[in-house]
Amino acid sequence: MKNRYKPIKYIKRVAFSNKLDSIISLTIISFGLVFLISLVKWVIFSANWNVVRLNLPLFFFGSFPNDQLWRPGLWISLFAILSFTTLWGPPWSWLRKNLPLLWVSFAPIGVFLLAGGCGLSPVESRNWGGLTLTILLTSCSAIISLPLGIALALGRQSALPVVKKLSSIYIDTMRSVPLIAVLFFGQLLIPLFLPVGLEINRVCRAIIAFTLFVSAYIAEDVRGGLQSIPRTQQEAGEVLGLHPFQITYLIILPQALRIALPSLTNQAVGLLQNTSLMAILGLVELLGIGRSILANPEFIGRYIEVYIWLAAIYWVICTVMALIARHLEQQMSLEKKDL
Amino acid sequence: MKISYKATTQILIALIVISIICILINNLTVNLIKTGLGFSFGWLFRPASFALAEHPLPYSPSDSYAWALFIGWLNSLKVIFYSLLLATLIGTCVGLFRVGKNVLLRLVSAGYIAIIRQTPLLLQLMFWYFVAILGIKGTIASPIGSVLSISNQGINLLGIKLSAEFTSLLLGLSVFTSAYIAEVVRGGINSVDKGQWESFRSLGLKDSTGLYKIIIPQALPAILPGLTSQYLNLAKNSTLAIAVGYSDIYAINDTIINQTGRPIEGFIILLLSFLFLNLIISNGMEYLNTAIIRSSNPY
């Protein structure tokens, strides 16, 4: 008898504790219902999903040659499998140990699958697009900017004034500039700084620009990790007679990276979202392909459907990455408890 | 011996950096000579000859490029300022709901934060502009006609006309930043010891009074640094104005670069204006920070 009244009591306590509370709750419930019903009605009856259904290959692979679609398809599946394996936490220790390695090799595999060579027919970078290009930009920039960011963070902590000053100037300038200016630099100005005759394609220039930008932010995250390592760790290394390089690489850095890992994953989420800026600068990544489909007279005015579809894709990927970040955080706090 | 090792390393690194810069500048000069452009800022005082839809100060196409850039800078400042206020307002409310007693409000605000933070800002801006504002059919007027009316031309609030571009940028930036501010506010309030809540409740204070008088003053030192970095992000994100056609400093710079074909000079101007903007915001927040710490801690 007692237990049957508990849920009602609970609901009363958390949502209807006084008059104002009840009014707020009732308003939310009624508005929520109206919103949900009209949303479901719109999705099923009013929306015309042809614009998404007919363009699915474009959204995922851009204008990649039709007979080679398995290549980006395989790569995106690999991305999904890797993400879910990381989240699920496989019981086999050999796989768990090699997961970081798999993530590191993910970007080179993508470049090989997309660009071709070594037995695969070459595909030019202007045919890359859609979700594939978004993930390529994200993974390549992330993998290059991580070591750069770590180097900058170490540089900023360095005892050598020249190194310290140079890294600080770089980090502070990059962090005060809007990303779109850096990307603009990548697209229009990098060609001007190259020797005559040397040309880099647009995707590469975008990756360079993202790397320049993101490494400054990664540097600050890593610095946060470095600063939280107690000084005694350094002293312990010195007492053991280790070389300063050994102390940094074997003792300080692994611990600092471990602490910085959640914020680094958030950086990756931000990077993925920011690759959409390339739509303004003329690459047809996920948002860019959406824009060019909307410019097609056949699908004119189908803004809501396309934007909601794109938002759903971005949301799913970013949420999975955020979940991975939280997962790593929990795992680390557990490991700390074990100590 | 140790000192000389350090000195050599530093000299070596400095030399490498300097030589890289020299190579880049050399390439640049060669390329600029090849294209016949050279490097000068003389064009700044030639007439801009493009129209601007929005200008807080008088502007006509016969005015100089420099004046057009200044107008763009003012436009940026305007949208940053108002988004900053609106984002703080929404963000504080959502953040307070997030830690409040009402479970439904908590759920709704958690959903809001999850949706806004996990989708790209640029997509949200396009949604606000192409769907929310340009998609309006006819005019939606408030019951008292002259107070507020919304149409696909923008918003008319108490006789002040806000353009469709400004409105969508304002809403997009504010909503996006508010989700981050909400998390900052939540973190700040959670950082206050639970005992503080219990003690003011046992003194017979109402929750609202206690929140305002006891909790928020203690949470502010934890909130302000996070808030500053969100404001700086907002200022940087305002450059996405170009996607909705609002003429901010970046959009005008882009037009000018296309007209004059001088990307290097335009880029330098852009960098300088942003360094200046960042200085304003971080100094303003620093001032606010010291003022608040002084007022909350009179001893």
d(CA B121, CA A200): 28
Tell whether A75 and A151 lie within a shared domain: yes
d(CA A22, CA A20): 5
Position A5 scores a pLDDT of 62
Q: Which chain B residue has its CA at the smallest distance from A178's CA?
A: B236
A226 CB contacts (<8 Å, ≥6 apart)? A153, A154, A157, A252, A253, A256
Tens of each residue's pLDDT in chain B, 299 residues:
556 778 888 889 889 999 999 998 888 888 888 877 777 888 888 888 888 888 888 888 888 899 999 999 999 999 999 999 999 999 999 999 998 888 888 999 999 999 999 999 999 999 999 988 888 887 777 666 667 788 878 888 777 888 889 999 999 999 999 999 999 999 999 998 889 889 988 998 888 888 888 888 888 888 988 898 899 899 999 999 999 989 999 999 999 988 888 888 888 998 888 888 888 888 888 888 788 777 766 55
Q: How many domains does chain A have?
A: 2
Mean pLDDT throughout A307-323? 92
**Least CB-CB distance to A25: which of B104, B120, B131?**
B104
Higher pLDDT, A5 or A249: A249
Residue listed under structure tokens 């490097």: B39
Using CA atoms in the order B93, B98, B103, B107, what is the torsion angle rounded to 10 degrees?
100
Domain coordinates in residue numbering, chain B:
40-114+180-296
Tell whether A149 and A249 lie within a shared domain: yes
ipTM for the complex shown = 0.88
Residue-wise pLDDT tens digits, A167-203: 999 998 898 889 999 999 888 888 888 887 788 888 9
Residue A294 near residue A302, CB atoms below 8 Å: yes
Q: In degrees rounded to 5, what are phi and psi of residue A101?
A: -60, -45
Residue numbers of the domain that contains A1:
1-46
d(CA A248, CA A234): 8
d(CA A11, CA A31): 19
Tell whether A182 and A143 lie within a shared domain: yes
Position B52 scores a pLDDT of 85
Position B117 scores a pLDDT of 92
What CA–CA distances, in Å, run from B254 to A280, A335, B168? 12, 51, 20
What CA–CA distances, in Å, run from A93 to A334, B44, B158, B217? 17, 64, 66, 49
- Cβ density class B251-264: b for 16+ within 10 Å, e for less: bbbbbbbeebebbb
Tell whether A280 and A165 lie within a shared domain: yes
Residue-wise pLDDT tens digits, A88-129: 777 777 777 788 888 888 888 888 888 887 778 888 888 888
Inter-chain touch A276–B31, beta carbons under 8 Å? no
Inter-chain touch B27–A195, beta carbons under 8 Å? yes
What CA–CA distances, in Å, run from B219 to A84, B182, B211, B224? 38, 13, 10, 9
Suggest the residue from B108, B119, B268 to mutate for an interface test with chain A (most A CBs closer than 10 A).
B119
Tell whether A221 and A298 lie within a shared domain: yes
**Least CB-CB distance to A15: which of B102, B131, B274?**
B102
Domain range B40-114+180-296, its CATH number among 3.40.630.40, 3.50.50.60, 1.10.3720.10, 3.40.50.300: 1.10.3720.10
Higher pLDDT, A2 or B40: B40
**Least CB-CB distance to B118: which of A15, A191, A315?**
A315
Tell whether A263 and A124 lie within a shared domain: yes
Tell whether A28 and A137 lie within a shared domain: no
pLDDT surpasses 70 at A145:
yes
Residue B116 near residue B179, CB atoms below 8 Å: yes
Q: What is the DSSP letter of A17?
A: S
Confirm or reject contact between A18 and chain B (CB < 8 A): no
| Coil, helix or strand at residue B299 | coil
Tell whether A93 and A138 lie within a shared domain: yes
Residue listed under structure tokens 């949208």: B79
| Domain at A230, CATH number | 1.10.3720.10
Tell whether A19 and A128 lie within a shared domain: no
Inter-chain touch B239–A176, beta carbons under 8 Å? no
Find chain B residues with C-beta within 8 A of A189's C-beta: 263-264, 267
What CA–CA distances, in Å, run from A72 to A38, A127, A275, A289, B262? 37, 12, 18, 16, 38
Report residue A28 as tokens: 């939310």
Find chain A residues with C-beta within 8 A of B5's C-beta: none
Tell whether A42 and A76 lie within a shared domain: no
Give 3-state DSSP helix, strand, coil % of chain A, rounded to 5: 80, 0, 15
Report residue A211 as tokens: 């790397």
Task: Please spell the DSSP secondary structure of B195-231, one letter per residue.
Answer: HHHHHHHHTT--HHHHIIIIIHHHHHHHHHHHHHHHH
Tell whether A6 and A77 lie within a shared domain: no
d(CA A44, CA A217): 43
Position A1 scores a pLDDT of 46
Helix and strand counts by DSSP (H, E) for chain B: 10, 4
Position B253 scores a pLDDT of 92
Tell whether A67 and A99 lie within a shared domain: yes
Element (H, E) at A31: helix A19-41
Position A337 scores a pLDDT of 56
pLDDT surpasses 60 at A338:
no
Q: Which chain A residue has its CA at the smallest distance from B235's CA?
A: A178
